[in-house]
Structure 1
Amino acid sequence: MNLPAARPLDVFVIAGEESGDILGAGLMRALDGRWNGPLAFRGVGGHRMIGEGLRSLYPMDDLTAMGFAAVIAKLPTILKRMKQTVEAIVANPPDVLVLVDAQDFNRRVAGRVRKRLPHLPIVKYVAPTVWAWRPGRARKMYGTIDHVLALLPFEPEVMRRLGGPATTYVGHPLLSEIPELQPTADDLAVRNGARPTILVLPGSRRMELSRLSASFGAALGLLKARGQEFDLVLPTLPRLETMVREATRGWPVQPAIVTGEEAKLAAFRRARVAFAASGTVTLELALAGVPLVAGYRVSDWEAQLAKRFIVGRFATLPNIILDGPFVPELIQHDCTPDKLVDALAPLIADGPARQAQLEGFARLDALMSTGGVPPSERAAAAVLAVLAARG
């Protein structure tokens, strides 16, 4: 979609964590390619968005907090940044406001901006997980958000049913990785060899590592004690390598720790099975055709609080999209070494447990298809359509 522009299109984008920085940068690139004229980007983002030309008001890390305890500890900074963000938007209104992830922060920003700038187009990139917990959030968005860009194919219907804003499925960014996740003949030889490669992905945040690494490590020790030989690989980010090495120092089986995107993708192509923290990585493994067991733990008080709000049947994205229990989910007190290894062992051999996961994973490509158009391009087209509709 090419629209004439007499002056730079002023786009205000807010991202609150690394995944949002990736989405925001992709959207910025796609808008730059579609808009027939100059653009100006400002808001809040990380190094990827800054690299695409964003002028960030403050470091994106100021908004990053996972879990109730972390949010409470960081609340003064978050509230300060929220006020600063709203004032920047109101003082110099952009042509469009795009809110990426950071659900609670951006919901409050949207509400405050809407009261003061009722005609400003506001787009939410990444639908809130109303299908999993706090479904009332969908209806509360109506009237505040003009349009939602969804990463998962079932989300537009969920938002409609719950009374939320108009929603368009644009596709998950992992779809662009599928060609790099497809194993070559050499990769398949490793994946199907006599000595399997096991991936272990205990999370990318300190709290996840501290709560999952001991259980994952002990489970791998039990697997070896049962006579299963294997190679163990742990992909991580370069900035987390020191923390990961410390967290795995006492494991009975030491992993080969690899860093960087290229090494991670190579490990995914060759892996036979995986242990993974419940999160986006479970979908990445499924798209790579790697059977897995998902685990997750939070503090007991966080778990009790979450029970009051959770409505979804499943915790992992493959199960949610496929609407079935394909991936074993061992959450909280079920995430024990014994249960983890009992769930993983049947996935190594070519038996019914492994085949059931692989058959489910084979359906994901069709369910998540974007018709060959990259998700970022679909997102940019949707943003420009909102702009055109609002005049």
Structure 2
Amino acid sequence: MTAARLPGVIGRRIFLVATEESGDRLGAGLMKVLRQRLGDAVQFDGVGGRAMTREGLNPLFPIEELSIMGFAAVVKQLPKILRLIRQTVDAVIATSPDILVIIDSPDFTHRVARRVRARDASIPIVDYVSPTVWAWRPGRARAMLRYVDHVLALLPFEPEAYQRLHGPPCSYIGHPLTEQLASLRPNGEEQVRRAAEPPVLLVLPGSRRGEIRHHLALFGEALAKLRSGGRDFELVLPTMPHLETMVREGVASWEVTPKIVVGETEKRAAFRIAHAALAKSGTVTLELALSGVPMVTAYRVGNAEAFILRRAIRVSSVILANLVIGQDVIPEYLQENCTPENLSRALGEVLSDSPLRRQQVEAFTTLDAKMSTGNTPPSVRAADIVLATMRRGRRAN
């Protein structure tokens, strides 16, 4: 086995594995702080995207090879996924890094971590972004004790969940959105537009092709019912460049034509003037809540995936903002309850000065305190724990 490299010695190597764009952004932020702390002697190897590559990652393969959505697609691509897992594990073992950092995407990254631990138990492993052990498959927390040395949590309630479920050490480092509040919240002029008529209504059908296929037509029908019921609004649909063509083709038949804005900057600008939103369940609900935008949420998946999730989910809400706030203030319509009628009726409430809207606005004001990490940015807190884990040295076999 390659001799361990100690902190302070030239040739320190950190192996990171991120397979989605969100993880790529987290990994890039972590790498930037680690390089500031360790200097140019550190070498980054692993799996990541454009952001991590710009920070100096030596990428093993493009993360686009893992852009797979849905259970059926995963089954079809299973031989390829298993080959990439083996390739990643082999690269970690050959590199013999001072630490392995796996970032989100637990279906891939945890398989890598388990196999690395089995082949070389001396390599410390940090998991950046907790899997949803608090929502489903809680037994994973205890199982992670065998192959994860520390979990970096983005949500404030997660450390308690790991303690309750007898998992590995877990620290709340803060959510990256808390570093971006200035881009989410309106200035004076934008606040005037947010309160003006007609109200700006955001529609957010998802950030993956499968999600868009499940939600786009449904959302179009709900918005048509809302308009036919006499409700006036200005509709804005933010999307990303690689999804623009698909979205434009999908909304071509909508009765209410949305203004499509493309890219992260334009999306945030739309958030700052929005009066309400219709959103697919996911991280975007926390983004909207931090921006102060009341919302209605929806989620549809394929029948096979729905069958499994119904039997596995153990929380009263799948909405991140609800979980952080500690009460179910945001309505969610899942599977068969996700109908145009239900969505249009709830949207009418959040567009009005209703009890539902007022309850959400008031609850959103508690988020800053609940998610605070003081003056230390999440990427810095993450780097501190990675370095502390690394400095404890390689594990005894």
**Which residue number in structure 1 is paired with residue 251 of structure 2?**
248
Displacement of 1:373: 1.4
What's 1:123 paired with?
126
User: Which of 334, 338, 344 is the equivalent residue of 2:337?
Assistant: 334
3-state SS, counterpart of residue 123 of structure 2: coil
Partner of 1:351: 354
Is 1:194 the counterpart of 2:197? The answer is yes
Give 1:105 shift: 1.4
Alignment deviations for residues 242-269 of structure 1 (CA, whole Å, 9 cap, x no partner): 0110111111101000011211111000
Question: Are residue 110 (structure 1) and residue 113 (structure 2) matched?
Answer: yes
Residues 5 and 36 in structure 1, CA contact (< 8 A), matched pair in contact too? no
The structure 2 residue matched to 1:149, chosen from 133, 152, 157, is 152
Which residue does the alignment assign to 2:167?
164
Aligned to 1:47: 50
> What is aligned with 2:219?
216
SS in 2 for 1:11: strand
In structure 2, the CA distance between the partners of 1:92 and 1:194, relative to structure 1 (3 Å rule), is closer
Correspondence 1:56-95 to 2 at 5 A: 56-95=59-98
Q: RMSD of the TM alignment (CA)?
A: 1.2
Q: Which amino acid aligns with 1:269?
A: R
Letter in 2 for 1:203: G
1:239 paired residue among 231, 239, 242: 242
Q: 1:302 aligns with which of 296, 305, 317?
A: 305
Q: 1:309 corresponds to which letter in structure 2?
A: A
Give the C-alpha shift of residue 366 in structure 1.
Answer: 0.6
Other structure's SS at 2:77 match: helix
1:325 aligns with 2:342: no
Q: Secondary structure at the match of 1:308?
A: helix
> Structure 2 counterpart of 1:102, which letter?
S
Q: Where does residue 360 of structure 1 map in the other structure?
A: 363
Q: Identity of paired residues, percent?
A: 51
Please state whether the residue corresponding to 1:98 is helix, strand or coil: strand
Whole-angstrom CA distance in 1 between matches of 2:138 and 2:252: 41
**Conserved 8 A contact 1:5-1:37:** no
Higher mean Cα deviation, 35-44 or 279-288?
Answer: 35-44
Please list every run of 5 or more consecutive structure 1 residues that lacks an aligned counterpart in the other structure.
none
Q: Cα distance, 1:65 vs. partner?
A: 2.2
Is 1:10 equivalent to 2:13 in the alignment?
A: yes
Aligned counterparts, 1:246-325, within 5 A: 246-325=249-328
Q: Give the CA deviation at 1:309.
A: 1.5
How much does 1:331 deviate? 0.6
Aligned-partner residue type, residue 276 of structure 1: A
Query: What is the distance in 2 between the residues matched to 1:32 and 1:326?
Result: 41
Corresponding residue for residue 370 of structure 1: 373
Is the Cα contact below 8 Å between 1:5 and 1:38 reproduced in 2? Answer: no
Structure 2, unaligned runs of 5 or more: 1-5
Q: How far did residue 185 of structure 1 move?
A: 1.0
Structure 1 residues 390 and 161, CA gap change in structure 2 (3 angstroms): farther
Instruction: Confirm whether residue 135 of structure 1 aligns to residue 175 of structure 2.
Output: no
User: Who is 2:179 aligned against?
Assistant: 176
Q: Which deviates more from structure 2 when the two are superposed, residues 299-308 or residues 261-270?
A: 299-308
Corresponding residue of 2:382: 379
Deviations 1:71-120 (CA, angstroms, capped at 9, x unpaired): 11221111001111111111220111000011021111111111221111
Please say if residues 6 and 37 of structure 1, whose CA atoms lie closer than 8 Å, have aligned partners that are also in contact. no
The Cα of 1:277 is off from its aligned counterpart by: 0.5
The count of aligned residue pairs is: 389
Which amino acid counterpart does residue 255 of structure 2 have in structure 1?
A: P
CA contact (8 A) 1:4 1:36 kept: no
Separation of aligned partners in 2, 1:264 and 1:301:
32
